[in-house]
Structure 1
Amino acid sequence: AEEILDAINNVFRSHGLATSSLLYLSSIEAKKNEAGLIEAARQLKVTVKFFAPEELEQVDAPNPSDMAKKYVGAKSVCEAAAILAADQGKLIVPKKIFRNVTVAVALAP
């Protein structure tokens, strides 16, 4: 959880965003039992939204990854999940990679 929280705090701070405005964490459903993600959400007092690869594939994310497509079946996980969690919101921070954590931020309409 600490690595996830550090990455989120870094992105929000560097873009002048308040973590108190965060509504959800989101990812691919294959990570729904990931303890660190669940604990980070608990500490942030938010819900985690998980999406199937088929749902993520429907999103036109700006930074697709052939590697993600190969391993998880979706060309985008982080950015697509952020956009879906924000009800097709606008991606305001493209994916940023911190060691084992990738963060993107979308603004709900």
Structure 2
Amino acid sequence: MKITLMHAPAPREVVEDVLDIPEGTTLGEALQQAGWLQRFPDIQSGSLATGIWGRKAGWDWVLREGDRVEVVRGLRVDPKVARRERFKGQGARATGLFAKRRPGSKAGY
């Protein structure tokens, strides 16, 4: 059965491998077979998380045909905090749903 391994070791850099594995292979075994545990030692240290199609999955997860295994880095900044900071920098008049109002129109149009 075929699965896809995905990892972004750095911003704007993606590593993708398609792997042919036997039925009943676990996520950890697939990473071992692909050589990713040696290639990316951070996977074993626990600083990177693993998942299948965007959902968290452990090393003992049994893979199925067509699964996409993702090895992801943690977020450096909380997205909510980042959005608040961007909003502060832009100011209230240049952002939001009604930023491009027609001149002389009522609020909300």
Higher RCO (C-alpha 8 Å, min separation 6): 2
Same fold (TM over 0.5): no
TM-score tier by shorter-chain length is under 0.3
Q: Give the TM-score of the pair, scaled to structure 2.
A: 0.26
Higher Rg: 2
Q: Give the TM-score of the pair, scaled to structure 1.
A: 0.26
